[in-house]
């Protein structure tokens, strides 16, 4: 199963245009984005460098906090007026930014692929399709660069082999009265 990313709304947020990392959460809420895949990109004069691909997954939007995963990771990139504790969530980004000496938030943007209105096969569990899209993005990167991005340290391709009962199959097997 492949997801046609050309049919997904996508947008970029340039971190240099933001004053605080928390503005990422406000942008995601304003756009109503609940399910998404994303990439952190360093923009250079000779081309973009993908730092990592990721996906939403913790449903923080249900508690009113949209884009929490992106925000937590972006906040660890140097250049914000304040910095989080090195023990705070999203600290995995500290390992990634070590590979990019001199990195600054003003040279980074985030690409977001919005899957909020995607026709998920299981309405109560969107992770399968989110993981498929994330794997597609990583696979395309491997094809063009010969390796995964620095921030994607393990393959999740095994997820695409898992089976599950879709809503359609479930509703065809069971009758509800």
Query: What is the structure's pLDDT at 170?
Result: 42
- Tell me the C-alpha distance between 11 and 160, whole Å: 26
Q: Which residue has the higher pLDDT, 105 or 175?
A: 105
The SS3 of residue 62 is helix
pLDDT of 125-171, one tens digit each?
Answer: 778 889 989 999 999 999 999 999 999 986 655 555 555 544 444 44
Cα–Cα separations (whole angstroms), residue 59 to 50, 100, 116, 126, 129: 25, 30, 12, 10, 15
In order of 52, 72, 76, 116, 142, the CA distances from 66 in angstroms are: 20, 11, 18, 12, 30
Q: What is the pLDDT of residues 28-81, one digit of tens each?
A: 999 999 999 999 999 999 999 999 999 986 667 667 678 989 999 999 999 999
């Amino acid at each position: 199963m492949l997801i046609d990313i050309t049919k997904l709304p996508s947008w970029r947020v340039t971190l240099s245009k933001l004053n605080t990392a928390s503005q990422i959460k406000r942008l995601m809420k304003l756009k109503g984005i609940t399910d998404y895949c994303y990439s952190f990109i360093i923009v250079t004069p000779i081309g973009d460098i993908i730092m990592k691909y990721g996906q939403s997954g913790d449903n923080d939007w249900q508690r009113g906090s949209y884009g929490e995963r992106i925000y937590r990771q972006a906040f660890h990139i140097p250049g914000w007026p304040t910095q989080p504790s090195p023990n705070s969530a999203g600290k995995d980004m500290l390992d990634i930014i070590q590979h990019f000496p001199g990195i600054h938030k003003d040279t980074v943007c985030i690409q977001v692929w919005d899957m909020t209105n995607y026709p998920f096969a299981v309405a109560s569990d969107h992770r399968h399709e989110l993981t498929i899209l994330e794997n597609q993005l990583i696979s395309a990167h491997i094809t063009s660069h010969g390796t995964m991005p620095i921030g994607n340290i393990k393959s999740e391709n095994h997820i695409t082999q898992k089976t599950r009962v879709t809503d359609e199959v479930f509703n065809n097997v069971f009758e509800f009265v």
